[in-house]
Structure formats: C-alpha cells, structure tokens
Amino acid sequence: MNAKKERVPGNGLGGRIINALDDDRLSQFAIPVVSIILTILAAAALLLVLGKNPATAMTGFLRGSGFMMKPIYGGGQSMLTDFLSFLGILAPMLLAALGIIIGMKSGMFNIGMAGQMLAAGFIATVFVGYSGLNAYLAKPLVILLGILTGGLIGAIIGFLKYRFNIHEVVSSIMFNYIISYIVAFFINTYYKDIITRSSRVCSAASRLSITGVTWGTSKLTLPLGIILALAGVFLVKFLLDRTVVGFEMKAVGLNRDCAKYAGVNVGKSIILAMALSGVFGGLAGVTYYVGYFNSIVPKELASLGYDSIAVALLGNISPIGAIFSSILITIFQKGSIYMSSTVGVPKEIASVITGILLLFSACGTYMRYLARRQRERLADKAKKEGVQ
Amino acid sequence: MSEYIVEMRHITKRFPGIVANDDISIGIKKGEIFAFLGENGAGKSTLMSMLFGMYEPDEGEILVRGEKVKLSSSNEAAALNIGMVHQHFKLVDNYTIAENIILGIEPIKKIGGFIPYVDCKGAQEKIRELSKAYGLEVDPCQIVETVNVSIQQRVEILKMLYREAEILIFDEPTAVLTPQEIQYLLDIMEELRNKGKTIILITHKLEEIKRIADRCAILRRGKLVKVLNVNETTTQEMANLMVGREVVFEQEKSPANFGEVLLEVEDLTVRNEDKFDVVKNVNFSIRRGEIFAIAGVSGNGQIEIADAIAGLIKPQKGAIKLKGKDITDESIRRRTEDGMSYIPEDRQRLGVILDFSLEDNLAIKRYYREPFSQKGILKREGFQKFAEELIDRYDIRSGQGAKTTTRSMSGGNQQKAIVAREISLESDLMIFVQPTRGLDIGAIENIQKHILRERDKGKAVLLISLELDEVMSLADTIGVIYNGELQKISPAEELTTNQVGEYMMGVKS
C-alpha cells in the first residue's frame, strides 16, 4: 500500500521547494522560509525604486544589530556592544510574543500587550527603580512586580470576558488607554526629568541588565532579560504541551462548548490564560523599561507590544518558532537606525518590511495550495509522458 | 453514446494511510436513482467527491455523457450540470434563503443601463416557481439560521435545481432528519426522478434504498463488492454484503433485572433563552439494570432534559438526584465523577474537539487523573495506550491511529470514538442521545450491543432517540415526550409502536 504522496518527478530546486511546501511536516518550516525570501526580494525591489543599493541596506540591518562588523566604531563600542544591545531588545520582544501565544492558544487575542508592559514597567520603576535598594534585592523585586502587575491586568481582562462577556480586544485596548494616561499623569506630576521630558532614569541596581562591564576596549551592557525570555520559551512550551492546565487552555481555545461539556472550568481557564498572557506582558515590560530604556516616555505605548503579535504569527504560534521570528523582526527593527543613517532611507522602512513579512506569511495556506496544484500538474505531465 | 450518463472507470484514490477507493468501475444511467451503500469510511463519499470535483482520482477516468472529463473543481462539475448536497450543509447562516441560492451566480440587472445591482426580486420569483414545481416548500425571504435542518436541506436542493443540475448527488441526506422529514425527502427524490433527473444517493440506510432506489452499489473498505438491482434483492442480503458477514437486525435482549433507583428527576422545568418552558414538570426515575427511553419527535424538549441532567444547562426548577444525592447544583465535572456518562446529540460541537488528536479526545474527560497525568503533568504514553485499547475494542477507523486529527475522521468514526469514551468511563448512569445516528448497520448493531451489555451489568441507561425502532427494541421503560411534557411512562412491553407514535404526536393522552 503506497500511502505516501507522490513526489514531483525530477530533483530540481523548484521541485524540492514545491515538495517541501506541500509536505505535512516540512511545510511549517518551508512556508516561513519562503515568506522571508519573498520579503527580502520585495524589500530589495522597494529599495531599488528609492534609488538605494539593496545589498548595502540589508547588510546595514545586520551591522546595526551586531551580526556584522561596522566599518568604524565610536569610543568604547564594538560589534559585541551592538549584539548585546540587540539581545537587550530581543528579550522583551520574545517575552511579549510568548504572552500573545498563550492567549491565542486559549482562543484569546491579547492586543493589550503594550499597556500591560507599560503598567509593569511603571510600577517597577516607581517602587524599585527609585528606591535605592541593592541589586540582589532590587532585581528579583522588579521581576516579581512585573509578573504581578501584568498578571493582574490580564486576569481582569479575562474576568471581564468570562463574567460580562466583554470581548478581550475591546477591554484590552481600553486598558491601553487607561494605563497610558494614568502613567503619563504620574510621570508628568511626580517623576518627570525636566531635560528629557521622560521619567527619571531608574537606578542601575534595579535594571535587568548589568552595566559598566568592560571587555578589551568596549564597554558592555549584559542583558539579563534574554535569559528570562529563553527560559520563558521552554516554560510556555512545557505548559502547553505537557501540563493539565495547558491541555485545558487549548481545549477551551479550540472548542469552548466541548471543553465545558468535558467538565473543564471554562471561566477559570480563560482567566488563568489571560493572567499568564499578562504575566509575560509584564515581564516584557520590565525588561523593556527597566533594563533596556530605563525611562518611560509619557503617553507613548511601545510599538514592540504590537510587533510581538507579528512575531507570534510568523512563528506559527509556537514558542520555539517565536525565537526565530523574534530574531528576524528585531534585526529589522533594531538595525533600522544604523541602516537609515548610512543608506539614507527613513528608518520606518523597518515597519514596512515587517508588514510585508506578515503579509507573505499570512498567505501560507495559499502558497501550500499553489504548490499542491503545481505538483499535481507536473505529476499529470509526467504520467502522460510515461504513457507515450 | 453509451447508455450511461456517468461512468467511472478503474478509479483509485489514496489518502495518507488508507486506500479510500480501490479500482472502482461503475456506470449510472440517466433518470435512475442509484444508491451507494457502505459502512462508515467505506469510500462512498470520497468516490462521489471525485465526481463533484473536490478530489481528483489518482488513477482511472470519469466519463460524463460519454465524454471523458477532468474535474478539478466543483465549478467544473457544476458546468456539467452536476450538483451535490453535502452531509454538512454549506449555507451562509445569516443570508436569506434566496440569497443563499443565488450566491455565486447572482442575476445582475442595471439601473439606467449602467449601475449594476442584484435582482433579488426576480430571483425570488424564480425560486418560488422552482419550489412549486418540485414540491419543495420554502419562503425565499427567510433567514437560513432561523429555519430547521429539513428546510435548510430543501435550500440545498433548490440551489442545485437553480443551477439546472441534471445529476444530483445526495450525501447521507437523511442522517439529520426526523422520520416524517425523511418521508418527505424521499417523496421529493422520486418526484425529481420522475422529472428526468438522475439521482445518486449515498447512504447506509437499507430501508431508504429499498424504498426508492433502482440500483445499488455496495462498497466495503474501499472496494466495490457488487451492483444490485434493488427490486431483485432483500435488505438482509444488502446488509450482509455491506458488512461482510451475517447481520442481526433484532438485538437479543435478556430479561430485565432491576436494582435500586439510581436517577430521580423531580418536577424538572427548563426554560430556554426565549423565556419559554421547553421542559415542563417532568418526573421520572431510572433503576439499575433499566433502559429508560424517551421517545419523541425532535425538538420536544428531550435534548434539554439530557442537558439538564448532565449539567450543561441550569433548570428553572426541580431536582435531580443521583444515587439519592441531590446534584442539581453540582458542576459538570463533579457529576462525571459521581458516575455519569453523556453522549450528546451534537457530536461535532459538543462531543469532540475536531482539531485535537483522537487520543486527546478519548481522554478528554479524564486527562487530569491517572494514568493520563500525575501532579498536573500529562503522561502522553497513558493517552496513547488508552486510545489504542479503545480503537481496538470499538473498531474506530482512522488514518494514523491514536495521533489522527479528529477532523479528518469520518462522522461515523467520530461517533464511535465518543461512544467508546463514554462507555469506558464505567459510569453508573449513562445518557445516550441518538447514539446510533449517522452510523452504518454494522456499527449500530455493535453500539446497541454495548448499551444492552451496560444494562445487564447493572447500569442505569437513559436513551433518547428519534428512531422509534431503536426505542422499541432496546427500552425496558418508555417515556413519551410531547411539547415538553412526559405524556406517558410505561413498561415497554405494554406499548405498541403505533401507540407510542400516537403519544409522540400528542394525539393520545
């Protein structure tokens, strides 16, 4: 019995791509890879239209993110400085994406990531960042406050959904506004730095990074958040794949009626999932505001909170996939400043590229369909030739 | 030109892990009702899906009106005047009946010769004419989600007729209908044949074939067993060919041996969302070793009784007692643990999570306990072992065993999985709602045997079925429901089928 699908005859590159795109196992890797290649081609075309050299622009992104040497470095700077800084901003991106993933697996869209980040970052800054506690006490406290603040907001959103059937997208967007204005009020009234017009910088002891390390001639900032983020990846994967709680969350996410029928406490599961999603939002917030930027601009929600949705989707809503997609999207976001200063393209091109990437990856099913059709066509042709 | 309007030659179709159709050759004549008979997963639907352009055969060829055709989409099939009514209807719920029918081929008129608009009025007229011509009564202005399944099915049929289909494929059309609605549909089909249409009927109900089909092809495990002239054969012969062995129609039932009262339902009243009492002051009790069947026409409150006992809906008033304990306010999980199994009517919405694997679905009521998990951590090997055991014992067929996505399994096998899961809970009370709906005769026989075995083990069984035959052959006690009220509760042997039917219609009280 031949259960396997027929392969496209011939082993050309085209044939291999087509096979990979329509393979049950391989397609989850092949589709993102093809999307990325298409995005790079589209971005290159865009840059050409703007009259810039796409190759310099692309390497500009990599140089800016510390993946390639820049031609010259300022005092105390090196490729390693850039790379560590890249990891510093990768951490909140990955953490926020994990929060989105938990939500989506449970059938909820936590679009309020940015608000949860801001609230957690603000609370941690005010209570620990300005406290003068020593590092051994301050850093764990910052993490704890991030978890509690994010978790609490998430739980409230979940509760509103369960108890009053208020859609989580609506309530979390409202929360974004509420948090943003309250935080802005407090910063402007009590914590403003007169010169920068942002909040005062939090103490070095409280930051989730170690500053002032020297290595050779470069001054380094070691990001601690990335450890948190990578641990988070495996934690979320374990939670979803191997725990009773994760099983219930997925059941509720896929078929709420059946979950209820099977005896799952749907309300508890929804609130828990949103709380956990918020926990990761909170962690993203503290690594972002207390570790990377170290101050808060009033009335501004981090666009990273929204980019994390793109990361989660591009990574196929899987924790492991999010590692790769967050690296990719962060390269564009982080590298855009350097790229823009050397090539002269506005740095907003990074958001355009992220958008194109999302667009292509959203076409995944269509790509698979095209591949299948092409394969059938080729198989037909081969059969006909075989007959003749 | 050949004598056949449709001819399929040496068709083979493979799916991962299974050969759905194995070298099947068949010819269908114009103006006949041709039936495909086979068990769940025998390959009937796959074969017809190829004629409708949903799949392409791996080998073999299809001829329509004597010409070789290649069907790679349902549009191409429609162009050849082939139409299909699927088992699960494909309608837009919040569109009107007329809008659903014209969807995709909207008649366009132009205001002042250049502003296009959809001519709904004209379409409605045409639909009214069609429905009059074939006796398919519908109101084209009604919204689809507000009408019942029987009318939705008429809409599907009208959709084909509106597209001027000559060859009509019906995929298990009676699985979702009540006995009266089935009668009506069969009449319609005969009417269609008399008007010259060719009808292909996929089913596993022998009586239907016997009643209306001219010829019948029997499929078993992907192979064509035989093509029979229906008037030269018997239902017994067809059943044996389909299952591949001698089939027992009447279940052998040992004399009842009642124990203590297990379930008591007192003054149960259930109110629906429209503040209407769908169950009114219902009282009954079930003893150990007893099959208590609720007979009734669909929509008379029997599903709500089951849902209330299982805890899915809160009763307005009344009490439910299990083993003497009041469980009216208990959680669903608590009831399961107290000893209650429930096979719900809507298997795809309630019974399984379609995107879960088979093993996950089989464990969905027990995943939090040993051997499926320990201290909150799942033990995958426990899932697999349990699933393999049930797959084996209940003959659940799937492409990739325990790891198969439930969505890819046939409806009948999904049902078998639910039945297997619920019986394996070994609860004292088992609620079966339409346990054999949509199943083939072999599987029905098997499940009915299980129900009787559970009764003989001293379990209390609440059976809710629309199939009067099933109620009559299994029940020890029959309660007939009409309009939310139990009209009559009586030992089964004291009632005849006709009497039950009269109570069901509310004629007798």
Amino acid, res. A361: S
- What pLDDT does A3 receive? 38
* ipTM of the complex model: 0.82
pLDDT over 80 at B247, yes or no:
no
Is the residue at A92 inside a domain? yes
Segment holding A145, helix H or strand E:
helix A135-164
Between the CA atoms of B383, B389, B393 and B396, what dihedral angle is there, to the nearest 10 degrees?
50
Instruction: Measure the CA–CA gap between A247 and A240, rounded to whole angstroms.
Output: 6
- What pLDDT does B508 receive? 64
Instruction: Measure the CA–CA gap between A70 and A55, rounded to whole angstroms.
Output: 14
Q: What is the Cα Rg of chain B in Å?
A: 24
Residues 21-50, chain A: which have Cβ within 8 Å of B?
Answer: 24
| CATH number of the domain within which A231 lies | 1.10.3470
Is the residue at A5 inside a domain? no
Cβ of A299 under 8 Å from any chain B Cβ?
A: no
Q: Which residues lie below 8 Å from residue A182, measured CB to CB, with a gap of 6+?
A: none
Is the residue at A57 inside a domain? no
Is the residue at A64 inside a domain? no
Measure CA of the first residue to CA of the last residue in chain B; give whole Å. Answer: 61
Q: Which of A217-231, B348-362, B471-485, B489-503 has the lowest mean pLDDT?
A: B489-503
CATH of B261-504, one of 3.40.50.300, 1.10.357.10, 3.90.1300.10, 3.40.50.1220: 3.40.50.300
Q: Do domains B4-81+166-243 and B261-504 have the same CATH topology?
A: yes
CB contact under 8 A, B377 and A263: no
pLDDT tens per residue across span A148-189: 999 999 999 999 999 999 999 999 999 999 999 999 999 999
By C-alpha distance, the chain A residue nearest B383 is: A242
Tell me phi and psi for residue B33, to 5 degrees. -100, 115
Q: Where are the domains of chain B?
A: 4-81+166-243, 261-504
- What pLDDT does B503 receive? 84
| Contact residues on chain A for B312, CB-CB shorter than 8 A | 260-261
pLDDT tens per residue across span A76-104: 888 898 999 999 999 999 999 999 999 99
Cβ of A2 under 8 Å from any chain B Cβ?
A: yes
CB atoms within 10 A of CB B356: 21
Query: Is residue B279 classed as helix, strand or coil in its secondary structure?
Result: strand
Domain count, chain A: 1
What is the b/e burial string over A210-229, where b = at least 16 CB atoms within 10 angstroms of the residue's CB?
eeeeeeeebebbebbbbebb
Parallel/antiparallel/unpaired status of strands A209-215 and A218-223? antiparallel
Instruction: Measure the CA–CA gap between B109 and B407, rounded to whole angstroms.
Output: 42
Instruction: Measure the CA–CA gap between A296 and A55, rounded to whole angstroms.
Output: 35
pLDDT tens per residue across span B360-392: 999 999 999 988 999 999 999 999 999 999 999
Is the residue at A143 inside a domain? yes
- What pLDDT does B328 receive? 92
Which residues lie across from B295 on neighbouring strands? B465, B480
- What pLDDT does B248 receive? 67
Q: Which of A176-180, A224-228, B247-251 has the lowest mean pLDDT?
A: B247-251
Segment holding A284, helix H or strand E:
helix A266-287
- Give the pLDDT band of residue B73 (cuts 50, 70, 90): confident
- Beta strand spans in B121-250 (E): 167-171, 198-203, 215-220, 223-229
Instruction: Measure the CA–CA gap between B352 and B349, rounded to whole angstroms.
Output: 7
Is the residue at A70 inside a domain? no
- Give the pLDDT band of residue A108 (cuts 50, 70, 90): very high
- What pLDDT does B2 receive? 66
- Domain span at residue A84 reads 76-335
Answer for the pair B334, B423: CB distance below 8 angstroms, yes or no.
no
- What pLDDT does A2 receive? 37
pLDDT over 80 at A198, yes or no:
yes
Helix axes A364-387, A13-21, angle to 10 degrees: 130
Instruction: Measure the CA–CA gap between B506 and B16, rounded to whole angstroms.
Output: 51
CA distance A276 to chain B (A): 17
Residues 359-388, chain A: which have Cβ within 8 Å of B?
Answer: 376
Average pLDDT, integer, range A368-372: 81
CB contact under 8 A, B350 and A258: yes
Cβ of B355 under 8 Å from any chain A Cβ?
A: yes
Token pair belonging to B175: 């699985």
Which has more confidence, A50 or A21?
Answer: A50
Average pLDDT, integer, range A366-371: 81
Q: Which of B434, B189, B395 has the alpha carbon at shortest distance from B306?
A: B434
Percent pLDDT > 70 in chain B is 97
Give CA B123 to chain center in angstroms: 32
- What pLDDT does A341 receive? 87
Is the residue at A386 inside a domain? no
| Contact residues on chain B for A254, CB-CB shorter than 8 A | 353-356
> What is the maximum span of chain A, computed from C-alpha positions, in angstroms?
85
Helix axes B149-162, B120-134, angle to 10 degrees: 110
Segment holding B281, helix H or strand E:
strand B277-287
**At the topology level of CATH, where does B4-81+166-243 sit?**
Rossmann fold (3.40.50)
Q: Quick one: A38 exposed, middle or buried, by C-beta within 10 A (0-12, 13-18, 19+)?
A: middle
Answer for the pair B231, B451: CB distance below 8 angstroms, yes or no.
no
Q: Quick one: A246 exposed, middle or buried, by C-beta within 10 A (0-12, 13-18, 19+)?
A: buried
Is the residue at A1 inside a domain? no
Q: What is the Cα Rg of chain A in Å?
A: 23
- Beta strand spans in B230-260 (E): none
Cβ of B356 under 8 Å from any chain A Cβ?
A: yes
The 3-state secondary structure of A64-83 reads HCCCCCCCCCCCCCCHHHHH
| Structure letter (DSSP) for residue B313 | S
Cβ of B360 under 8 Å from any chain A Cβ?
A: yes
Distances in whole angstroms, Cα of residue B418 to Cα of each of A253, B100, B363, B411: 20, 33, 10, 11
pLDDT over 70 at A11, yes or no:
no
pLDDT over 50 at A1, yes or no:
no
In order, the DSSP letters of B133-159 are: HHT----TTSBGGGS-HHHHHHHHHHH
- Beta strand spans in B48-189 (E): 59-64, 67-69, 82-85, 108-111, 115-118, 167-171
Which has more confidence, A277 or B16?
Answer: A277
- Give the pLDDT band of residue A383 (cuts 50, 70, 90): low
Answer for the pair B353, B406: CB distance below 8 angstroms, yes or no.
yes
